[in-house]
Structure 1
Amino acid sequence: MSAAPFDVAPVQERVRTLVPTLRLVAGAADYAAVKSLADFPAPCAYVVLAAEQYTNAPAGHGRPGEQVPVSQDGAVTFGIVVAVRNYREQRGAQVSQELIAVLGAIRGAVVGYVPPGAGTRPCQLSRGRLADYDAGTALWEDVYTTSQSIGVLA
C-alpha cells in the first residue's frame, strides 16, 4: 500500500487509447500552460486530479517518535477538461455536435473503469458543465469520482 496521491496517468492512457480522435490527452501541467481558448489543440482532453477526502482510521498506539501502521479509505475526484473546435460555424450547432461525440467517447471509456491501486472503485460521472465558449471553441469540464486506500506499514 502507498501513501501517494491518486495517479491520473492510467485514466489519461485509457482515454488516449480508446478515444483516438483526440489530438492530445495530457495532464494538469499542460492544461495550466494554455493561455487562451485559441491555444487548445482541439479536440483534446486534460485529466487533472481535483480533490481527495480521506476518513480517519484508528491508528493504534505507539511511543512518541514512532510511526505506526495506518490505512485510510478515501474519495477521489478528478476532472477531464475537453476542448473542441469548429472553424466553419460560429453559432454553436456544429461545435455542439462535435462536443457530444467527443464527450460520449470519453465517458464511454471512463465510466465504470476501475483504475489500478488499492481500494479503487469504478469511476462514476458526477457532473459536467460548459466552462467557456468563444468563436467556435468550446471548453467542457466533466468531474468523476472513484475511491482509493492509502496507508503506511511503518
Structure 2
Amino acid sequence: MAKTIENAFLSYGEKDAAVQVEVFLNLACPYCATWFEIADQQLTPYIEEGKVRYVIKHYDKPREMLLYGTLVNLHLDYNEPNRIYEIMKELFAKQSEWSESDSDSIKQLLIEKYGLKEEPATIDLSLKITDEAIKRQVKMVPTVYINEKEFQFPVELNADQLKEEVEKELTYV
C-alpha cells in the first residue's frame, strides 16, 4: 500500500503506484528546468505503465531569484493538473526568455498566451506546500523524494541515477 502523499495537488500516475516520486521545484529555477525535462523523459514510461506516481510541488520559496516562479504559480489553476503540466513544460523550456523579464511582462504572457488569471485558491495551496517544505526541511529546489528517500538534484541525482533509483525501488515490489 502506497504512502499517502501530503499536498498531492499536481499528481500524475496511479495513486497506489509502487514508486512515489515527489519533487519540490520552482518555475524560475534553472536546475528545476533541467530536472523537469529529465523527469519528463525518464518517468513518463513508468507513469504510463502504472509503476510510478509523480507529484510536483511548486515551492514558492522566498528567494529573490525564485519570485517570478511564484508569480507564475499563482496563476495556475490546480483543478487542471494536465494543463498545468503542459504549461510548466513549455515555461521551463523557455525559462531564459521570460524569467529575465519583469513582472508585468510575465503577467501579460500568462494572460495572452495561456489565458491564465490570478487564482486566489492557489495562494492557500502554496502556503500548504511551503508549510510542508519547512517541516521536511527542504532547503533548495529541486529536492526530490523517491519513496521518501531524499535527493538533491543535480548533486545527488542525475538522469541515469533517477532511472536506477526507480528500477531499484521496483525490485522491492
- Which category describes the TM-score, using the shorter chain as reference length? under 0.3
Q: Which structure's residues are more often helix, by fraction?
A: 2
Q: Report which of the two has the higher share of strand.
A: 1
Q: Give the TM-score normalised by structure 1.
A: 0.25
TM-score (norm 2): 0.23
